[in-house]
């Protein structure tokens, strides 16, 4: 990776966002400029952790490799608020990670974020995007245990390798009385830059992307709560793996019913669910059951303020996506439950439970579960310093018997210090 690339992207994004927001050298009323605000924020974090299973393996040569892990990161941000309600934000978050026992896992990650929102043409709009660059190993990993790569493909190991991942979304909304119309669009693109190999057990990474756009039409049910019907048209692309002819490019139509807002003063929800009609292209495997697939799309979040000191959040998301290892597609199911308790303005603790299932479509024979529990606590030492401690317990499991390469246990114990810049 060229070292100056993230900086070039950041400067270009900054110029574009500020120009679109109306900040810069163009003429304007002097009092307007005086009332606009530009603020900066920044933190730096040093984290020391101990990982009991760096490579997510319980068998063969990579089994239960333990390591101290040092991570140094920063989070820098700028926010501009205009007199007309326009808001522009930029963020830059670099992270340097070193594994004492396994140098191949060292990486430097850089994440850029940008957003722009405001009012225009009688409505509101919001645009946001992110770009994550990882300068890591250009080689993937050889998993020699029966079953190959660990549960759900070992995304933790994948995310340390050389890659770029881009996300963007845009939405606008026009209201007439209680009714509203909301066009939306979103993009996901993964550019994996690891070397591909035909070596047995080598985990290849294959580029993939997902783009969709559509429209929501809805109505306010009451103050703070709205319902809508929506439609998305989209497509997914998957690069070819080596010389294999298979690829799982597809298009889809997604019909949604949604609910968004407060069901009660203490309970807010965001729900989108409905059927999805997917059509795979002609280059799927010869034994692929059916190129026309109907499935349920679900994205539901609920947040409950149980008391002044306790907040509980739950999310369930189900959709279908393409394998990052190529030559396949799978049903993706995420279930998250989080609880946060505030002891005082300076102390808090939380528990997060996560269950993740990847159930591959035939002819692939893989159905994995990844379950994690994370206990975390933080204490503010002063206006500038915060200390955090956490314990992560992780279990990878295969619903298909006799696949020890896919099953493992892992724990990560961490202590970090964060300072405001």
Output b/e per residue, 327-358; b: 16+ Cβ within 10 A. Answer: bbbbbbbeebebbebeeeeeebbbebebebbb
d(CA 247, CA 360): 14
Q: What is the pLDDT of residues 284-335, one digit of tens each?
A: 999 998 999 999 999 999 999 999 999 999 999 999 999 999 999 999 999 9
pLDDT of residue 197: 97
Domains of the chain: 5-420 (2.40.160)
pLDDT of residue 376: 98
Q: What is the pLDDT of residues 104-140, one digit of tens each?
A: 999 999 999 999 999 999 999 999 999 999 999 999 9
Other Cβ atoms less than 10 A from the Cβ of 294: the count is 9
What helix, strand, coil percent values describe the chain, rounded to 5?
10, 60, 30
d(CA 54, CA 51): 6
d(CA 215, CA 179): 14
217-232 mean pLDDT:
97
Q: What is the pLDDT of residues 22-50, one digit of tens each?
A: 444 343 444 444 589 999 999 999 999 99
- Separation of CA 58 from chain center: 27
Q: What is the pLDDT of residues 359-414, one digit of tens each?
A: 999 999 999 999 999 999 999 999 999 999 999 999 999 999 999 999 999 999 99
Q: What residues contact 384, with CB distance under 8 A and at least 6 apart?
A: 419, 420
Between the two ends of the chain, the Cα-to-Cα distance in Å is 28
d(CA 51, CA 67): 5
7 pLDDT exceeds 80?
A: no
d(CA 370, CA 368): 7
């Amino acid at each position: 990776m060229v070292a100056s690339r993230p900086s070039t992207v950041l400067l270009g994004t900054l110029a574009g966002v500020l120009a679109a927001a109306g900040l810069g050298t163009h003429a304007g009323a002097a009092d307007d400029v005086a009332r606009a605000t530009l603020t900066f924020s920044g933190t730096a974090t040093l984290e020391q952790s101990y990982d009991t299973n760096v490579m997510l393996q319980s068998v063969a040569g990579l089994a239960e490799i333990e390591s101290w892990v040092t991570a140094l990161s920063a989070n820098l941000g700028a926010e501009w608020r205009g007199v007309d309600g326009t808001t522009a934000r930029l963020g830059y978050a670099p992270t340097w990670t070193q594994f004492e026992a396994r140098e191949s896992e060292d990486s430097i990650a850089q994440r850029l974020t940008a957003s722009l929102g405001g009012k225009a043409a009688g409505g509101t709009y919001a645009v946001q995007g992110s770009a994550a660059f990882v300068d890591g190993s250009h080689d993937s990993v050889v998993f020699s245990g029966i079953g190959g790569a660990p549960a759900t493909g070992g995304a933790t190991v994948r995310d340390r390798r050389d890659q770029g991942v881009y996300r963007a979304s845009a939405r606008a909304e026009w209201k007439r009385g209680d009714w509203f119309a909301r066009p939306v669009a979103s993009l996901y693109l993964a550019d994996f830059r690891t070397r591909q190999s035909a070596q047995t057990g080598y985990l290849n990474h294959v580029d993939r992307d997902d783009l969709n756009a559509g429209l929501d039409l809805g109505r306010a049910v009451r103050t703070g709560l709205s319902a809508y019907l929506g439609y998305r048209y989209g497509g997914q692309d998957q690069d070819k793996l080596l010389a294999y002819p298979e690829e799982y490019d597809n298009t889809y139509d997604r019909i949604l019913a949604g609910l968004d807002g407060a069901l009660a003063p203490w309970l807010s929800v965001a729900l989108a669910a409905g059927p999805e009609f997917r059509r795979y292209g002609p280059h799927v495997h010869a034994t692929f059951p059916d190129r026309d697939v109907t499935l349920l799309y679900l994205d539901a979040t609920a947040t409950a303020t149980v008391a002044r000191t306790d907040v509980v959040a739950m999310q369930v998301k189900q959709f279908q996506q393409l394998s990052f290892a190529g030559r396949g597609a799978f049903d993706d199911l995420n279930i998250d439950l989080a609880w946060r308790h505030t002891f005082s303005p300076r102390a808090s603790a939380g528990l997060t439970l996560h269950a993740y299932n990847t159930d591959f479509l035939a002819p692939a024979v893989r159905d994995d579960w990844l379950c994690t529990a994370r206990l975390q606590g933080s204490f503010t030492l002063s206006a500038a310093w915060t200390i955090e401690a956490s314990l992560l317990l992780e279990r990878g499991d295969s619903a298909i018997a006799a696949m020890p390469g896919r099953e493992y246990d892992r724990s990560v114990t961490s202590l970090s210090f964060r300072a405001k810049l």
